[in-house]
Chain A
Amino acid sequence: MALTHNLIQTRRLVSNQTTITFSNIPQTYTDLRLLVSARSTATGQVRRYVNVNINSSSSPQTYVRSIAYSTNNTVTDFDNVNSNYLVMTTDGADSGVFGIGELYFINYSGSTNKAVTCTSGALSSGNSEHMIGIWGATRSTTTAITSLQFTCEIGDFVAGSVFSLYGIKKL
């Protein structure tokens, strides 16, 4: 059970942005929880991934992951290294519809147990190109998370996208 569940920072974009960074993340919590509601300016599809970059690493994805996701009426399991997870809607999706996602970083300031979980979905009523996924990952680095940076796989985040970072302390 969480002892505290504090909002550290939230940002609702008032104009299109290429990159958003949460820097100088306090090291006083046990876990981090990030909620994202995002849409990209990218055209040609209705969904794209959100790239997550930890601590300004030159490699945006430092994960070994297992994945279960659906883009139709069946669930596909998939294992990959250095891949993406959060999904968002894009310019081809229904107007005003944003993808949603949650990232949970366990023991983000410690050197062990670097598990990450994520659930995310991007849906568009008029198109079958949806995606809903559950992602599990282990960070391959042992350093504390001090910054999180987000970019669209392609395009910019549209105005109205929201990024909220919470700090969790457990009993």
Chain B
Amino acid sequence: MTTESVMTHVEVNCTTGEVIERPYTPEEISAREAEVTANIAAQEERDLAEQAIAAAKASAEAKLTALGLTPEEIAALR
């Protein structure tokens, strides 16, 4: 998370080549902080989804092992 003092915006005008660098306005800082908060929540949801996939994969591999498949045979199914 950045602090307000270092939030900056660089705009490159693709037609003129002009580059403008400026600090965020107070309104932009508020919007950015809300955006980051939402992004953190979204990331937590993605993390949970990835953990669920990993858990399902581990469970499936354990069941395949119990059925007698070798690690090489399990890897070949991927």
Nearest chain-A residue to B78 (Cβ)? A74
Nearest chain-B residue to A153 (Cβ)? B39
B11's partner among A15, A23, A49, A71 (CB-CB below 8 A) is A23
Main secondary structure of the interface of A (DSSP, over half): loop
Chain B residues closer than 8 Å to A154, beta-carbon distance:
1, 36, 39-40, 43
Interface residues of B in 12-42 (CB under 8 A from A): 12-17, 19, 21, 24, 32, 35-36, 39-40
Once bound together, how far apart are the Cα atoms of A156 and B3, in whole Å?
A: 10
Once bound together, how far apart are the Cα atoms of A17 and B36, in whole Å?
A: 15
Which stretch, A5-13, A93-101, A107-115, A116-124, touches the partner chain B? A5-13
Q: Are A18 and B12 in contact (CB under 8 A)?
A: no
Q: Are A24 and B13 in contact (CB under 8 A)?
A: yes
Interface residues of A (CB under 8 A from B): 8-9, 11, 13, 15-26, 41-42, 45, 48-49, 51, 60, 71-74, 76, 151, 153-156, 165
Give 7 A-B contacts (CB < 8 Å), ordered by A residue: A11-B19, A20-B10, A22-B12, A26-B14, A74-B57, A155-B2, A156-B6
